[in-house]
């Protein structure tokens, strides 16, 4: 069923039935009606359920119950997976799939290998996701860690449903903060080579500045002594900056995140990006001068106030650079541009989107997501952090402390925009309170069963050949969950909500843990054992696939 989920199939079947009923009632139904399908609250209400009769009753001038009855009379599903249908007041159509059909789906999982849940969408899009994009003047912090988990998982999800995804990191390598960073490092560096150099006002105080200075000194010695020379100074700053960027890249790599493009803002400026934006906006009549500054008439494009693009001193503002950047993205031909911004950037969203529109670009191609605040808790208390003073928990510290798997999983446990309390003690605990281990343990348990089987000299044979009809209804219930994996992936991808993956995995792991405690997989009956091993292996593969999407490892043993 590559590319088509169970839901799609059922919708088609219902649609056909409704068309038949429409003829019966001499009614035309609009083409664009959707057929809502949901999973009912309990198993005795069916495997899927639709309220479509309640929605169409008025149109058909009949009661929801009568319409629902008429629809199920017209369902032709003899050969299909539908076992029977029921109508329940006030007009639900409940669909029961045959238990045997569910069991057979285990084969799908096993035969599709790592591709289970990976479907081709109807319209593959070229998508760009830009995230993290932290200033290269310091180590990444925990907010970046959250954005990284979010962006990378979302990218994985969108790829999984067939989009072509590019991960991009914008390097803010132009501007004041870079100068300030350079001066800060320079001061430490000069101390190392035995000279005085004033530490800049509002300079960066963190230890990492000294680390960078030491690194430069170790690599290049006193080579930058002649700092008065503009060329020497520029090289010093570039080298220091490069070191910092490399540091960030390494941290992200440790986190399992690899960017396809590292986009330099400086290069964009050199290409004249900001000038082009000014020219276009001027031509379109969206600029004006006031108080010696150049303004963009953002209020005409949905912003609540106008925005400065070029300051009185001739310097470009952040917004101008960002508009140039977005224009560049549009020129690169993406169908969808996703920006994941930190919570402190929410104030500029209206300006960016307004500017995009003012440039004559399709505003709706850009989707801005705000990744929420992160508050770290230790011993039940909030950790205060100050970046300028260099007193904060970096992303590196976090990875050292709780590890990549716990960090990524915890960040995805909340919806993207909500504030998040990250309990460092909990994330470290190797106890059932910690959901990461719960899921990983289920995976390791399956591996363990197979190890045991081998130890006992059992030959499970080719699992695809297993006689799945030997499985019980309890086991079919797990197969149902497996079938919903592709639906969940599609939903998570289209809604841009990677956290759904975590919740699905916790439920599937729960199913398996319960099963494991209740049922022995390895038995004296080779046929039953094979069938149970097939189910277990299918569970393992789905857990592995789900964990892969959120960038968490699937251990063989714990």
3, 120 Cβ separation under 8 angstroms: yes
Which residue, 27 or 519, is less far from RNA as judged by CB?
519
Q: What is the DSSP code (8-state) at residue 555?
A: -
Residues 377-436 that bind RNA (CB under 7 A): 413-415, 417-421, 430-433, 435
CB of 415 to RNA, least distance (A): 4
Across the strands, what pairs with 165? 127
> Contact at 8 Å (CB) between 263 and 166?
no
Which C-beta is closer to RNA: that of 121 or that of 519?
519
Q: How far apart are CA 482 and CA 476, in angstroms?
A: 10
User: How far is 421 from 427, CA to CA, in rounded Å?
Assistant: 11
Of residues 255-314, those binding RNA (CB under 7 A): 290-293, 304-305, 308, 311-313
Q: 């993290």: which residue's tokens?
A: 132
Which H or E element spans position 126? strand 126-130
The CA distance from 444 to 557, in Å, is 5
Distance between CA 186 and CA 198 in Å, rounded? 9
CA 123, CA 403: separation in Å to the nearest integer? 37
Residues 513, 439: Cα–Cα separation, whole Å: 9
What Cα–Cα distance (Å) separates residue 522 from each residue in 107, 471, 534?
A: 19, 13, 12
Q: Which is nearer to RNA, 213 or 442 (CB)?
A: 442
Binding mask 101-140 for RNA (x = CB under 7 A): ----------------------------------x-----
Q: Nearer Cβ to RNA, position 76 or 451?
A: 451
DSSP at 301: G
| Site for RNA contains 92 (CB under 7 A) | yes
Nearer to RNA among residue 92 and residue 215 (C-beta): 92
> Which residue in 55, 232, 383, 385 binds RNA (CB under 7 A)?
55
- Which secondary-structure segment (H or E) carries 293? strand 293-296
DSSP conformational letter for 313: T
Among 370, 383, 385, 470, binds RNA (CB under 7 A): 370
CB of residue 307 vs RNA: minimum separation in angstroms?
7
23 vs 421 by CB, closer to RNA: 421
Residue choice 15, 266, 345, 477 for contact with RNA (CB under 7 A): 345
Closer of 171 and 239 to RNA (Cβ): 171
CB distance 157 to 493 below 8 Å: yes
Stretch binding RNA (CB under 7 A), from 77-85, 121-129, 384-392, 503-511: 503-511
Judged by CB under 7 A, which stretch of 74-82, 191-199, 326-334, 338-346 contacts RNA? 338-346
Nearer to RNA, 152 or 487 (CB): 487
> Does the protein bind RNA through residue 179 (CB under 7 A)?
no
For the segment 35-54, give every residue that binds RNA (CB under 7 A): 36, 38, 40-42, 45-46, 49, 51, 54
Is residue 445 part of the contact set for RNA (CB under 7 A)?
A: yes
Considering the rule CB under 7 A, would residue 553 count as an interface residue with RNA? no
């Amino acid at each position: 069923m590559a590319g088509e989920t169970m839901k799609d199939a059922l919708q088609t079947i219902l649609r056909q039935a409704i068309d038949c009923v429409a003829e019966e009632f001499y009614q035309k139904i609009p083409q664009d009606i959707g057929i809502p399908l949901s999973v009912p609250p309990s198993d005795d209400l069916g495997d899927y359920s639709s309220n479509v009769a309640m929605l169409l009753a008025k149109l058909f001038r009949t009661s929801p119950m009568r319409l629902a009855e008429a629809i199920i009379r017209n369902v032709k599903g003899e050969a299909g997976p539908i076992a029977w249908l029921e109508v329940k007041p006030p007009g639900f159509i409940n669909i029961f799939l045959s238990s045997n059909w569910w069991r057979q789906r285990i084969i799908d999982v096993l035969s599709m290998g790592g591709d289970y849940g990976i479907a081709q969408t109807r319209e593959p899009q070229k998508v760009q996701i830009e995230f993290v994009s932290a200033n290269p003047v310091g180590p990444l912090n925990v907010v970046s860690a959250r954005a990284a988990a979010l962006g990378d998982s979302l990218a994985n999800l969108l790829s999984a449903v067939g989009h072509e995804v590019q991960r991009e990191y914008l390097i803010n390598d132009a501007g004041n903060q870079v100068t300030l960073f350079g001066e800060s490092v320079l001061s430490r560096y000069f101390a190392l080579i035995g000279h005085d150099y004033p530490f800049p006002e509002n300079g960066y105080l963190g230890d990492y500045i000294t680390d960078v200075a030491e690194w430069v000194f170790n690599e290049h010695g006193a080579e930058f002594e002649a700092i008065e020379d503009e060329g020497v100074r520029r090289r010093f700053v570039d080298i220091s900056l490069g070191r910092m960027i490399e540091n960030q890249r390494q941290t992200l790599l440790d986190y399992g995140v690899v960017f396809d493009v590292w986009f330099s803002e400086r290069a964009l400026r050199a290409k004249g990006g900001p000038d082009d934006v000014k020219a276009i906006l001027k031509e379109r009549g969206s600029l004006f001068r006031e108080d010696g500054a150049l303004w963009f008439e953002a209020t005409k494009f949905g912003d609540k106030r106008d925005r400065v693009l070029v300051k009185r001193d001739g310097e470009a503002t952040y917004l101008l650079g960002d508009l140039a950047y977005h224009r560049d993205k549009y020129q690169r031909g993406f169908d969808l541009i996703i920006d994941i911004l930190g919570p402190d950037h929410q104030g500029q969203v209206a300006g960016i989107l307004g500017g995009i529109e003012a440039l004559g670009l399709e505003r709706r191609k850009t989707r801005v997501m705000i990744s929420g605040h992160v508050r770290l808790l230790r011993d039940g208390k909030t950790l205060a952090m100050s970046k300028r003073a260099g007193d904060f928990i970096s992303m590196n510290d976090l990875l050292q402390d709780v590890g990549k798997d716990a960090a990524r999983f915890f960040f995805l446990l909340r919806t993207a925009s909500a504030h998040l309390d990250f309990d460092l003690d909990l994330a470290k605990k190797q106890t059932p309170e910690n959901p990461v281990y719960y899921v990983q343990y289920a995976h390791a348990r399956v591996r363990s069963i197979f190890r045991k089987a081998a130890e006992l000299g059992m030959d499970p044979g080719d699992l695809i050949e297993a006689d799945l009809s030997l499985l019980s209804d309890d086991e079919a219930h797990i197969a149902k969950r497996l079938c919903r994996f592709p639906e969940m992936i599609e939903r998570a991808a289209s809604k841009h909500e990677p956290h759904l993956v975590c919740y699905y995995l916790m439920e599937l792991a729960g199913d398996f843990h319960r099963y494991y405690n209740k049922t022995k997989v390895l038995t004296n009956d080779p046929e039953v054992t094979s069938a149970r091993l097939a189910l277990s292996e299918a569970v393992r593969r789905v857990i592995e696939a789900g964990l892969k999407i959120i960038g968490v490892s699937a251990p063989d043993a714990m």
